[in-house]
Amino acid sequence: MNWALNLLLLLFLVTTAAVAIRLRDLLAVAIVFSAYSLMMAILWTQLRAPDLALTEAAVGAGVTTVLFVLTIFKTTRRED
């Protein structure tokens, strides 16, 4: 059962990484990156590294996402 969850997490991580690379909208990329960081935090928990999981959740899914979104809203968009 545990290996199935780890395999599902790994598949989700690879998928979100590929989606983040392919997207062109910066706000969507920030949201996908937040989901990626949250899944990494869950994976660190599965690997019994709670200190890394808390750091990844706080910094990766929390602070970094907020900074990305604030930066996106502070800039202007140029249409081609």
Query: So what's the pLDDT on residue 13?
Result: 93
pTM (2 d.p.): 0.84
Residue 19 domain-assigned (yes or no):
yes
Domain of 68 in residue numbering reads as: 2-74
Q: Is the pLDDT of residue 80 over 70?
A: no
- Looking at residue 76, its pLDDT comes to 80
79 within domain boundaries: no
Residue 80 lies in a domain: no
At 34-75, the pLDDT tens digits run 999 999 999 999 889 999 999 999 998 899 999 999 999 998
CA nearest to 16, candidates 59, 60, 74: 60
Average pLDDT over residues 20-28: 92
For the chain, the domain total comes to 1
The percent of the chain in helix, strand and coil, each rounded to the nearest 5, is 85, 0, 15
**Residue range 16-44: mean pLDDT, rounded:** 93
